[in-house]
């Protein structure tokens, strides 16, 4: 059990080009998205052992995010964020994940547009 439930790992500012948008030109030209991630870990456990096996390997998470997002092709940033959350909860030992996904320059006179979602791992069926 996670004895330090307030401990978090965060990755901020992962930049990745991908096909995102519903306008014709957006379907042809990769655009940059910026991704921030936050997820729980037990920092005290990892600190005691000083071993990556006792934490979430954030380098592996970052590499997976960049590879998957770079190959993705969605119309909505909401869809990209949701599918990314599902992927990370499936492939990594995370109880939950918070994703903030920004699309810089998408709206004129605005720095960026984005979404922030929090998704939890589904509880196993009763009796398991």
DSSP E strand boundaries for the chain: 8-20, 31-40, 73-74, 96-104, 112-120
Distance from C-alpha of 114 to C-alpha of 22, rounded to nearest angstrom: 15
Residues classed as catalytic: 103
CA–CA separation, 120 vs 48, rounded Å?
A: 27
For residues 54 and 67, what is the distance between their CA atoms, to the nearest angstrom?
A: 24
């Amino acid at each position: 059990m996670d004895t330090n439930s307030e401990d978090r790992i965060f990755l901020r500012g992962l930049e990745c080009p991908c096909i995102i948008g519903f306008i014709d030109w957006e379907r042809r030209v990769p655009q940059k998205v910026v991704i921030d991630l936050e997820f729980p870990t037990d920092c005290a456990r990892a600190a005691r052992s000083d071993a990556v096996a006792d934490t979430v390997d954030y380098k592996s998470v970052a590499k997976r995010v960049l590879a998957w997002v770079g190959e993705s092709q969605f119309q909505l940033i909401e869809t990209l964020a949701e599918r990314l959350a599902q992927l990370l909860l499936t492939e990594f030992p995370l109880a939950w994940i918070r994703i903030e996904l920004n699309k810089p320059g998408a709206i004129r006179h605005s720095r960026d547009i984005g979404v922030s979602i929090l998704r939890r791992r589904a509880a196993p069926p009763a009796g398991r």
